[in-house]
Structure 1
Amino acid sequence: MVELLPLSDIAPQTVEALLDDAFGADRFGRTAYRIRKGTDAIPALSFALVEAGALVGTIQCWPVAHRAADGAETPLVMVGPVAVRPDVQRGGYGRTLMAHMLAAAETKADGALMMIGDPEYYGRFFGFDADATGAWDLPGPFEKRRLLVRAINGHGLPIAAGMIGPR
Structure 2
Amino acid sequence: MVELLPLSDIEPQAVEHLLDAAFGTDRFGRTAYRIRAGVDAVPALSFAAVEDGALIGTIQCWPVAHRAADGKATPLVMVGPVAVYPGQQRGGHGRTLMAHMLEAAETKADSALMMIGDPEYYGRFFGFDADATGVWDLPGPFERRRLLARVVNGHALPTGAGMIGPR
If the TM-score is normalised by the length of the shorter chain, which range does it land in? over 0.9
1:71 aligns with 2:77: no
Question: Number of residues paired by the alignment?
Answer: 167
1:128 aligns with 2:100: no
What code does the residue aligned with 1:50 have? V
CA deviations 1:40-71 (Å, max 9, x no partner) are 00000000000111100000000000000111
- Equivalent-residue separation in structure 2 for 1:29 and 1:71 (angstroms): 27
What code does the residue aligned with 1:143 have? E
- Equivalent-residue separation in structure 1 for 2:53 and 2:117 (angstroms): 29
Give secondary structure in 1 for the equivalent of 2:62: strand
1:52 matched residue in structure 2: 52
2:114 matched residue in structure 1: 114
- Equivalent-residue separation in structure 2 for 1:93 and 1:30 (angstroms): 24
Shift of 1:123: 0.1
Unaligned residue ranges in structure 1 (runs of 5+): none
Give secondary structure in 1 for the equivalent of 2:133: coil
Shift of 1:135: 0.3
Shift of 1:31: 0.2
- Equivalent-residue separation in structure 1 for 2:113 and 2:119 (angstroms): 14
Q: Which segments of structure 1 move beyond 3 Å, counting only runs of 4 or more?
A: none
1:152 aligns with 2:164: no
Root-mean-square deviation (CA, aligned residues, Å) is 0.4
Give secondary structure in 2 for the equivalent of 1:22: helix
1:161 aligns with 2:133: no
- Equivalent-residue separation in structure 2 for 1:118 and 1:2 (angstroms): 25
CA deviations 1:65-117 (Å, max 9, x no partner) are 00001111100000000000000101000000000000000011011000000
Unaligned residue ranges in structure 2 (runs of 5+): none
Identity of aligned residues (%): 84
Shift of 1:130: 0.3
- Equivalent-residue separation in structure 1 for 2:66 and 2:154 (angstroms): 17
Matches within 5 A, 1:24-63: 24-63=24-63
Give secondary structure in 2 for the equivalent of 1:25: coil
- For normalisation by structure 1, the TM-score amounts to 0.99
Shift of 1:149: 0.1
